């Protein structure tokens, strides 16, 4: 009996040792997602930027920047849906308007990055903005709210359901509202025409729009610090979905007036500080070497910020046409930086074309997962791990559909100028064609000179359109 017990103990110890060894080979993953940050708002991506972003500059020096990275869509909800699921939101018709249904955007059979990491023994955490719906009628409840992050693969969630200026004005902790909105507050924001509005609503005691971002940063840092003191050997996945620099623009006191470009510029500087806080927390915790850190934005700059910054001589979309909600490059070409000390060459640039949907296949390849077999729902994902590891080579990507009636194939952009018309109501002659290598600002329509190519792209999109199954 004693021999048997000793054998079991030895087996258990051996198993534990193997597990620790296996985990040691898997990096922690931290993904920081800004909200409505333009490509040109970062000095690293815009040499003429009037907003100082020293922490992003430092991150770029420590890692690889991608100059041809794209969000899954040009607005919040579909972009986050594509990032987490590896499904092009154009395929399922995901739009921000679906939130009004009071149902989860991500179905149970659509697996997320959190599910992927869980399958390899990771602990999974979301801090920040969810914006992907719940089973919820927006009325106060002290009962669990189902269908959110906790039911979609995350071990922990602390954050907000939408933007910091959207009701209910309270945090969510796991799957419950963290406070009942009972206190009347007011704040200012801008409408689509640029008019300043005053909004009155109610918030939970202690909840503050201005303190939302600082509170979330502290929570993320706390998770990082707790990982170092915990006896857990698991690696972790932290998805930090920042609520800034989305409206309302309420920078912390230390950033007020610092940019010289009003509250939006100050808020961008605060977003830069957030990145610095998390990057430094990883260093302080001794986790930097074994952590793959990403920074990007959910879509292009918002229209009001775009207009205001342009009036002040700052190009939030840099040389690109359009802004948030546009299928032109300014709507979805986003800043993108990856850092992994000892694995990725610091201070380098990749010109490979990548999309948020590609995170799923990239992490699958990194962790040795057969994504097509184990997570077939991520049908629009293509690994960019080779591009991470070999920045000098530009890797090809399959045709990339941008929401409605827009397509990217190699350096060609095929697009209908009308943002809301259905494909069935368009004609071949109405589409535009741009050579992004020569014309990144999409100024010269080459469709008439390249009709054969334009027809090929029309057919490619038509084939995709026939596969669309709306939610």
Q: What is the pLDDT along the chain (471 residues), one digit of tens a residue?
A: 333 343 333 343 333 333 333 445 799 999 999 999 999 999 999 999 999 999 999 999 999 999 999 999 999 999 999 999 999 999 999 999 999 999 999 999 999 999 999 999 999 999 999 999 999 988 889 999 999 999 999 999 999 999 999 999 999 999 999 999 999 999 999 988 888 999 999 999 999 999 999 999 999 999 999 999 887 789 999 999 999 999 999 999 999 999 999 999 999 999 999 999 999 999 999 999 999 999 999 999 999 999 999 999 999 999 999 999 999 999 999 999 999 999 999 999 999 999 999 999 999 999 999 999 999 999 999 999 999 999 999 999 999 999 899 999 999 999 999 999 999 999 999 999 999 999 999 999 999 999 999 999 999 999 999 999 999
At residue 444, φ and ψ (nearest 5 deg) are -115, 110
Q: Is 51 exposed, middle or buried (0-12, 13-18, 19+ CB in 10 A)?
A: buried
Which of 369, 367, 388 lies closest to 22, judged by CA? 367
For β-strands 348-350 and 354-355, DSSP reports them as unpaired
Look up residue 57 and give its two tokens.
């500059």
Predicted local distance difference test score (pLDDT) of residue 1: 34
Look up residue 275 and give its two tokens.
């990145």
Q: Domains of the chain, with CATH numbers? A: 25-179+207-396 (3.40.720.10), 407-465 (no CATH)
Predicted local distance difference test score (pLDDT) of residue 9: 30
User: 363 pairs with which residues across the strands?
Assistant: none
Look up residue 257 and give its two tokens.
């007036």
Predicted local distance difference test score (pLDDT) of residue 233: 81
Instruction: State how far the alpha carbon of 392 is from the alpha carbons of 231, 340, 345, 350, 388, in Å.
Output: 40, 17, 10, 6, 10
Q: Is 23 left (phi over 0), alpha (psi -120 to 50) or beta?
A: alpha
Q: How far apart are CA 88 and CA 378, in angstroms?
A: 9
DSSP summary character for residue 36: S
Which of 135, 117, 291 lies closest to 220, judged by CA? 291
Predicted local distance difference test score (pLDDT) of residue 25: 77
User: 355 pairs with which residues across the strands?
Assistant: 70
- Determine contact, residues 244/277, Cβ cutoff 8 Å: no
**Secondary structure class of 67 (helix, strand, coil):** coil
Predicted local distance difference test score (pLDDT) of residue 193: 85
């Amino acid at each position: 009996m004693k021999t048997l017990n000793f054998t079991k103990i030895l087996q258990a110890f051996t198993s534990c040792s193997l597990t620790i060894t296996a985990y040691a080979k898997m990096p922690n993953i931290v993904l920081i997602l800004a909200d409505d940050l333009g490509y040109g708002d970062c000095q690293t991506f815009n040499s003429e930027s009037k907003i100082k972003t020293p922490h992003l500059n430092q991150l770029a020096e420590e890692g690889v920047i991608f100059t041809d990275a794209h969000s899954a869509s040009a607005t919040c909800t579909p972009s986050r849906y594509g990032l987490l699921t590896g499904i092009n939101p154009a395929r399922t018709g995901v739009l921000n308007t679906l939130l009004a249904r009071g149902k989860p955007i991500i179905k149970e059979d659509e697996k997320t990055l959190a599910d992927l990491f869980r399958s390899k023994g990771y602990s999974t955490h979301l801090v920040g903005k969810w914006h992907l719906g719940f089973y919820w009628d927006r009325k106060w409840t002290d009962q669990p709210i189902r269908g959110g992050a906790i039911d979609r693969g995350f071990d922990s969630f602390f954050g907000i359901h939408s933007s910091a200026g959207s009701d209910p004005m309270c945090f969510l902790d796991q799957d419950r509202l963290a406070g009942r909105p009972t206190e009347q507050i007011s704040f200012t924001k801008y409408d689509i025409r640029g008019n300043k509005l005053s909004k009155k609503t109610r918030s939970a005691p202690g909840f503050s729009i201005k303190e939302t971002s600082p509170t979330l940063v502290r929570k993320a840092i706390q998770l990082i610090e707790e990982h170092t003191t915990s006896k857990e050997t698991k690696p972790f996945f932290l998805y930090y979905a920042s609520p800034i620099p989305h409206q309302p623009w309420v920078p912390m006191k230390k950033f007020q007036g610092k940019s010289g470009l009003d509250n939006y510029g100050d808020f961008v500087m605060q977003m830069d500080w957030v990145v610095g806080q998390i990057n430094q927390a990883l260093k302080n915790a001794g986790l930097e070497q074994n952590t793959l850190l990403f920074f990007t934005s959910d879509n292009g700059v918002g229209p009001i910020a775009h207009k205001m910054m342009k009036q002040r001589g700052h190009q939030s979309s840099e040389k690109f046409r359009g802004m948030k909600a546009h299928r032109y490059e300014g709507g979805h070409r986003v800043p993108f930086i990856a850092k992994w000390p000892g694995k990725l060459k610091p201070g380098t640039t990749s010109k490979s074309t990548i999309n948020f949907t590609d995170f799923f296949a990239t992490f699958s390849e990194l962790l040795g997962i057969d994504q097509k077999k184990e997570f077939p729902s991520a049908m629009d994902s293509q690994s960019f791990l080779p591009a991470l590891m070999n920045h000098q080579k530009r890797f090809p990507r399959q045709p990339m559909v941008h929401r409605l009636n827009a397509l990217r194939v190699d350096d060609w952009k095929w697009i209908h100028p009308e943002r809301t018309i259905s494909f069935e109501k368009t004609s071949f002659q109405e589409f535009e064609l741009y050579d992004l290598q020569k014309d990144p600002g999409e100024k010269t329509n080459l469709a008439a000179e390249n009709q054969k190519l334009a027809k090929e792209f029309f057919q490619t999109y038509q084939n995709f359109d026939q596969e669309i199954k709306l939610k």
